Amino acid sequence: MQPTATVLVYSDDANTREQVRLAAGRRPAADVPPVEYVECATLPAVLTALEEGGIDVCVLDGEAVPAGGMGVCRQIKDEIFDCPPVLLLIGRPQDAWLATWSRAEAAVPHPVDPVLLADALAGLLRRDTHAAA
């Protein structure tokens, strides 16, 4: 049986979580493992999932309410030992500097562009696979 990667998707909006799942699909690129998703709608759910372990990449909605993905990213980078790489969904190109401030490894615009999202997610999964090797 082939190993899978676990991707945490955080947004207070169920439609945004669904867009991420559908855009990336079960396998964002041929050279990365199949993906399983863990969906979180609240910050406490994100923290619980990360503390339980097994998350390979996080996709965080920068526009989530009340805890935006950029603040969540900065918090988990400070609080979670060996925090997985983070892909931020940003609402405006001008927010790219905030993604850098939050210490996210990648950022893509929202609404979700399936090609950009799948490419960015696959890049983080490849990076995580090489780091583990």
pTM > 0.75? yes
pLDDT, residue 23, reads: 96
Amino acid at 122: A
| E strands, the chain, in order | 5-10, 35-40, 57-61, 86-90, 106-109
Question: What are 20-49's pLDDT values in tens digits?
Answer: 999 999 999 999 999 999 999 999 999 999
Query: Could you state, in chain order, the average pLDDT of each consecutive group of 10 residues for the chain (133 residues)?
Result: 90 98 96 97 98 97 96 97 96 86 95 96 83 48
Domains and CATH numbers, the chain: 5-113 (3.40.50.2300)
Amino acid at 66: P
Tokens 């493992």 identify what position? 33
